[in-house]
Amino acid sequence: MSIPRLIRISLLLLTLGSSQAHAFDLLEAWQAARTQDPAFASARAAANAGRTKSLQADALTSPQLTLNAGAAGVSNDNKITDARFSNAQFAGGASSNKGTTDFRTKTDAGLDLNLNLRAEYPLYDALRAGSVKQLNKQAALAEVQLAAESQQLMLRVAQAYFDVLLAKDTLATLKAQQLAVAEALASAKARFAEGDVAIIDTHETQARFDLLASQVLEAESNLQLMREALGDATGNRDAALAALSNNTDFQRYVSGDMQSWISRAQSNHPQVHIQQLQQEIAQAETGKFKDRYAPVLNLVAQAGGERLQGLGNGDADLTNRQISLGVQLTVPLYTGGMRDARYQ
């Protein structure tokens, strides 16, 4: 049976007892349980956490922006020999058109400052794509699990509600029997006093009365337990409950043969859907490592610079700035067998 049809039928049954004034009916009990039942509150919290999986999937397909900054004290000594210049005047006055010279920059105590802004956008990444698929499936699984818990809550509340009504009717029946037996016992005692019946008849009636008295005590205890169970789910332990009318016809709410119900369950039952999603999540996990040499291609943009500032006399100051835009290709040639192991 589809979820919408199940909910429509269930709500219709829930409202059957609502005509009784000032009575806590089954619909009200279910609505109260949606906010009061601890198990459903836990399921709702788990569903809220599961919904964030779709946000995580969106994040994996979005650009990543990173800012790195650093400062350090350094000592630096750079020496370049035989540097060649096309203009002789830069070679210390050498007569050749291709003069050479030596360079040396030294900083005994300096401050190195660096700042780098990096942006990456994934163009192709099989591992990332598999994670996106897996996270979206997990988000869908959270919604289906909440729907299943909602149906379970409906069944638990209905069971607890009707358990209270059944316990109440059982107690009323036993008390009516007890009253009848009490009258019979009084009559038997009176007739025995007059000599109309034997003492054994009085003892048998007394035994029936005592048995009913113990059954009444058990029924009262059972009714209290059933009320507590309903109260745990709904938060309402004292309200009078609405009962179904005696002429309620349940047959008109039933349609279809057994095979059609089985087909509906196979295509619409939350537990079946849950199992399918869990299987797809597991397949997505292994699928991420199916290609051991799957490349990663990212669009990368960088902007930053570095400055080495000398603090002593004669120390050099060096400044470097750069801006770049391009693509970066990464190929996992060897991972120690990790990809093969996770694909198994």
Q: Do residues 320 and 305 lie in contact, with contact meaning Cβ atoms separated by under 8 Å?
A: yes
- State the pLDDT at residue 262: 81
Q: 270-287 and 126-194 helices cross at what angle (nearest 10)?
A: 150
Nearest CA to 78 among 296, 310, 287, 267? Answer: 310
CATH homologous superfamily of 3-244+272-343 equals: Outer membrane efflux proteins (OEP) (1.20.1600.10)
Nearest CA to 289 among 83, 89, 134, 138? Answer: 134
Domain residue limits, the chain: 3-244+272-343
pLDDT in tens, 186-215: 887 877 777 766 777 788 888 888 998 999
235-240: long-range contacts at Cβ-Cβ below 8 A with a sequence spacing of 24 or more?
A: 235/32, 235/35, 235/36, 236/24, 236/29, 236/32, 239/23, 239/24, 240/22, 240/23, 240/24
* Model pTM score: 0.66
Could you give the CA distance from residue 304 to residue 72 in angstroms, rounded to a whole number?
A: 17
- State the pLDDT at residue 239: 78
pLDDT in tens, 213-257: 999 999 999 999 999 999 888 888 877 888 777 777 777 767 667
Residue 303 φ/ψ, nearest 5 degrees: -145, 130
